[in-house]
Structure 1
Amino acid sequence: MTVLLLRLAGPLQSWGADSRFQTRSTRREPTKSGVLGLLAAAKGIRRTDSIEDLLTLRFGVRTDQPGTVLRDFQTAHDWAHPDKKGDAPAMPLSNRYYLSDAVFIAGVEGGRDLLEGLDGAIRDPQFPLYLGRRSCPAEGQISLGLVDGDLISALKDAPWHASLWQRRRLPRSVDLPIAIDAESGQLGDTVRDVPISFDPTRRQYGWRSVTTDRVSKPNPDGDDTPDWFAALGGV
Structure 2
Amino acid sequence: MSVLLLRLAGPLQSWGADSRFQIRSTRREPTKSGVLGLLAAAEGRRRTETIEDLLSLRFGVRTDQPGTVVRDFQTAHDWAHLDTSGDAQAMPLSNRFYLSDAVFVAGVEGDRSLLEGLDAAIRSPEFPLYLGRRSCPAEGQISLGLRHADLKSALRAEPWHASPWHRRRRPTSVQLPIVLDAAPGQLGDTIRDVPLSFDPSRRAYGWRTVATDRLAMANPDGDDAPDWFAALGGH
TM-score between both structures, scaled by the size of structure 1: 0.96
The equivalent of 1:149 in structure 2 is 149
Deviations 1:20-63 (A, max 9, x none): 11000000000000000000000001100000110000000000
The equivalent of 2:219 in structure 1 is 219
Does residue 1:66 correspond to 2:66, yes or no? yes
> Which amino acid in 2 is paired with 1:197?
S
- What is the CA-CA distance between 1:173 and the residue it aligns to? 1.0
The equivalent of 2:122 in structure 1 is 122
Query: Structure 1: how far apart are the matches of 2:225 and 2:132?
Result: 37
Query: Structure 1: how far apart are the matches of 2:25 and 2:104?
Result: 18
> Which amino acid in 2 is paired with 1:185?
G
Query: Structure 2: how far apart are the matches of 1:180 and 1:92?
Result: 36
Deviations 1:96-127 (A, max 9, x none): 00000000000000000000000000000000
TM-score between both structures, scaled by the size of structure 2: 0.96
The equivalent of 2:4 in structure 1 is 4
Query: Structure 2: how far apart are the matches of 1:109 and 1:169?
Result: 33
- What is the CA-CA distance between 1:231 and the residue it aligns to? 11
Query: Structure 1: how far apart are the matches of 2:11 and 2:104?
Result: 13
Number of residues paired by the alignment?
Answer: 233
Query: Structure 2: how far apart are the matches of 1:109 and 1:232?
Result: 36
> Which amino acid in 1 is paired with 2:68?
T
Does residue 1:170 correspond to 2:170, yes or no? yes
Query: Structure 1: how far apart are the matches of 2:231 and 2:166?
Result: 22
Runs of 4+ that moved beyond 3 A: 229-233
The equivalent of 2:28 in structure 1 is 28
The equivalent of 2:107 in structure 1 is 107
- What is the CA-CA distance between 1:83 and the residue it aligns to? 2.4
- What is the CA-CA distance between 1:85 and the residue it aligns to? 3.0
> Which amino acid in 1 is paired with 2:100?
S
The equivalent of 1:47 in structure 2 is 47
> Which amino acid in 1 is paired with 2:81?
H
- What is the CA-CA distance between 1:84 and the residue it aligns to? 3.7
Query: Structure 2: how far apart are the matches of 1:219 and 1:125?
Result: 34
- What is the CA-CA distance between 1:226 and the residue it aligns to? 4.2
> Which amino acid in 1 is paired with 2:195?
P
The equivalent of 1:189 in structure 2 is 189
Query: Structure 1: how far apart are the matches of 2:101 and 2:203?
Result: 30
User: Structure 2: any 5+ residue segments left out of the alignment?
Assistant: none
User: Structure 1: any 5+ residue segments left out of the alignment?
Assistant: none
Query: Structure 1: how far apart are the matches of 2:142 and 2:13?
Result: 14
Query: Structure 2: how far apart are the matches of 1:230 and 1:160?
Result: 22
Deviations 1:197-231 (A, max 9, x none): 0000001100000000011111111012345x779
Query: Structure 2: how far apart are the matches of 1:211 and 1:80?
Result: 48
The equivalent of 1:17 in structure 2 is 17
> Which amino acid in 2 is paired with 1:100?
S
Query: Structure 2: how far apart are the matches of 1:26 and 1:164?
Result: 25
User: Alignment RMSD, CA only?
Assistant: 1.6
Does residue 1:81 correspond to 2:71, yes or no? no
Query: Structure 1: how far apart are the matches of 2:224 and 2:99?
Result: 27
Deviations 1:135-174 (A, max 9, x none): 0000001000000010000000001011111100111111
> Which amino acid in 2 is paired with 1:162?
A
The equivalent of 2:159 in structure 1 is 159
Query: Structure 2: how far apart are the matches of 1:140 and 1:210?
Result: 28
